[in-house]
Amino acid sequence: MTIFFHELKQGKKASLITSLSSCILLILIMSVQPKVQNQMKMVEKLIAGLGPLAQAFAMDKLDMGELLNFYSLEAGNVLLLIGCSFSCVMGISMLSKEEGRHTAEFLFPHPISRLSVIIQKWFALIIQLVVFIIINTAGTYISFVMLNQPWDMMLFIKIQLSLLILFVCVGSICFSISAFISHEATGVGVGIALTLYVLNLLINLDVGKDIFKYITPIYFTEPAKIVTKGAFDMYFAKYYGLITAASLLLGTLRYATKDLRI
């Protein structure tokens, strides 16, 4: 488990800074909710004037005056984007950095299999994603308590669980991609996250919905959709679960047999 703990220690600073910064941002966003609630007539007129933009961000489907609706449309959407980017960046550097930093020549002469390295690094990634969602969930819960308004605890848990599923999915896929590259590709990770996010915006605009919903897991984990439907779509949960498992298998096979650049 040496590699597992080494990865946690190595990524601790970046993970905590990202998690705490995101948490503070969510609390600041939620602090605006009472003002929005008091100005709902003006907000509704503003949303009506946004047209397709309101549809893209699902602002036309929920009443922003309600606490959980506001969270899913504003703070939850921000958490989705930040968390998705964080997951992709962390995932896509997990394996490739050993070659990019020229540490593979130090690591692999030791009596440890590549499969063990892959497993330990993947578990380290998952732990960091879990810590990220826990910190942000705790911060959001505190803001809810301070606002002292009625909200559905079970629905909130479903939203946070769906976000964790999203982060694990995109993080694992990028983790698999890192097996095919030999340098750190932070920009590629951010690009993947933004592409998935934009594809979901297009889905909300009914552009390419029949195709894009099978490309971006944000389609079934978006907080606004969870609030609207009361749960995430199990069909797409299973579909993206298989995609994640298949990508991990493919990445493992690639990394186990590739010639590492030292």
Quick one: average pLDDT of 146-167? Answer: 92
Residue 100 pLDDT > 70: no
Question: Structural domain boundaries of the chain?
Answer: 2-257
Quick one: average pLDDT of 218-226? Answer: 91
Cβ atoms 220, 112 nearer than 8 A: no
DSSP readout, 148-207?
Answer: T----HHHHHHHHHHHHHHHHHHHHHHHHHGGG-SS--HHHHHHHHHHHHHHHHHHHTTS
Query: Measured between alpha carbons, how far is 112 from 114 in angstroms, rounded to an integer?
Result: 7
Amino acid 103: pLDDT: 59
Q: What are phi and psi of 155, to 5 degrees?
A: -70, -40
Quick one: average pLDDT of 66-79? Answer: 88
Residue 43 pLDDT > 80: no
Quick one: average pLDDT of 150-174? Answer: 93
- Return mean pLDDT, the chain: 86
Q: How confident is the model at residue 99 (pLDDT cuts 50, 70, 90)?
A: low
Amino acid 97: pLDDT: 74
Residue 108 pLDDT > 60: no
Quick one: average pLDDT of 97-103? Answer: 63
Q: Give whichever of 108-117, 130-139, 149-158 has the largest mean pLDDT.
A: 130-139
Number of Cβ within a 10 Å radius of residue 106: 11
In terms of phi and psi (left: phi > 0; alpha: psi -120 to 50; beta: otherwise), the region of 126 is alpha
Cβ atoms 127, 161 nearer than 8 A: no
Q: How confident is the model at residue 107 (pLDDT cuts 50, 70, 90)?
A: low
Quick one: average pLDDT of 175-200? Answer: 88
Mean pLDDT lowest among 45-49, 71-75, 171-175, 229-233? 45-49
Q: How confident is the model at residue 33 (pLDDT cuts 50, 70, 90)?
A: confident
Residue 150 pLDDT > 90: no
Mean pLDDT lowest among 16-20, 37-41, 104-108, 192-196? 104-108
Amino acid 128: pLDDT: 95
Amino acid 85: pLDDT: 94
Amino acid 175: pLDDT: 94
